[in-house]
Structures are given as structure tokens and as C-alpha cells.
Amino acid sequence: MHVYAGMAAGQLLLELPFFPVTELLVSDRRWPRPLTVADVGGQQIATVLGYHYPELEHALGAQFVRADGPSNEINLRKLGLGRVRHATTLKALLDYRLKLGDHIEIHPPLHVKTYLTRCAVSEKAGVTLADVNAAIAGMHRDGVIHRIVSNYQ
């Protein structure tokens, strides 16, 4: 079982993974295009404060230079303004910002990882883990998850 910041073991129940997320490394077109994650070693990467990036830490080691910001959205703005050359972001957010017409001059993004997210349900919540799992199963069955994801593409 995973334990989240501020929570003791046993206080949270985790349901099955259900929502697809892809993390990307995006780079400003005003600079040379990185072909691999290793190509950005030693350069600042806009990251979200408090978020752990195990794939980038593994790939870059001591060459992983974080430039923490409060959110992925703010980090994309920093990238667009030229304050950093690279940023981590979620594919759904990048797709959504581009769909809205944001003008972000980036190289083709580098894939960092894809995974399915989970919900955490407190043992003190007014719903059970079975209730959450049933609701998520219904959302899958009815195509709700697909429609939500489609709104951002």
C-alpha cells in the first residue's frame, strides 16, 4: 500500500488504477533539440515542487537539475517565456493548452512514462473502496473516462 504525505499507513485505501497519464519532457525550439532525456543533463528542467520524478532521476542522476514551480501550467508558461529550456508536463495538459490556442514553440516531446492513476480513499470517508471501484467501473463501462480524456486532446 502507498502512503501519501501526512497520512499514516492504514489511513488510505487505494482502488485499482484507472485514469491514463503520460508524462513528457518538452523543450523550447529556440535551443537545440534533445533526442534523448540524457541530452538535457545538467540543464534546468521546470518541475513541480514536491513531485517525484523517478524516471528522470534514474536517467540523469546528479545531472537532473530541477527548477521547481507550483504547477505544470506555470512551468509551461516559464518555458514559453524562455525562463527555462525544458519542462516536464502531462500530455493531457499540453494537448489541452495547444487545443486552446496557446502558442508554445517546442520540439517534439520526449516520452518519460505512461501509467494509470489511482484514487485514495480514506478509511474515514463516507464511501467505501467498493463504492469507488463500482463508480469507476461504471465510468469505464459508460465511456465517461474516454470522453473526459478526449476533451483534452
**Confidence class for position 4, pLDDT limits 50, 70, 90:** very low
Query: In the numeric block, which cell numbers belong to residue 71?
Result: 504547477
Q: How many helices (H) and strands (E) does the chain have?
A: 5, 7
Q: Residue 43: which of 64, 69, 18, 20 has the closest Cα?
A: 64
Residue 75 host element (H or E): helix 72-80
Those residues whose C-beta lies under 8 Å from the C-beta of residue 133, and which sit 6 or more positions away, are 15, 16
In this prediction, residue 38 has a pLDDT band, given cuts at 50, 70 and 90, of very high
Sheet containing 19-27: order of strands: 65-69, 44-48, 86-90, 19-27, 110-117
Q: Where are the beta strands (DSSP E) in the chain?
A: 12-14, 19-27, 44-48, 65-69, 86-90, 110-117, 120-122
Q: Which of 6-20, 41-55, 100-114 has the lowest mean pLDDT?
A: 6-20
**DSSP 8-state symbol, 28:** B
| Element spanning 141, H or E | helix 129-141
Distance (Å, rounded) from C-alpha 26 to C-alpha 33? 10
| Per-residue pLDDT, 5 | 41
pLDDT of residue 3: 36
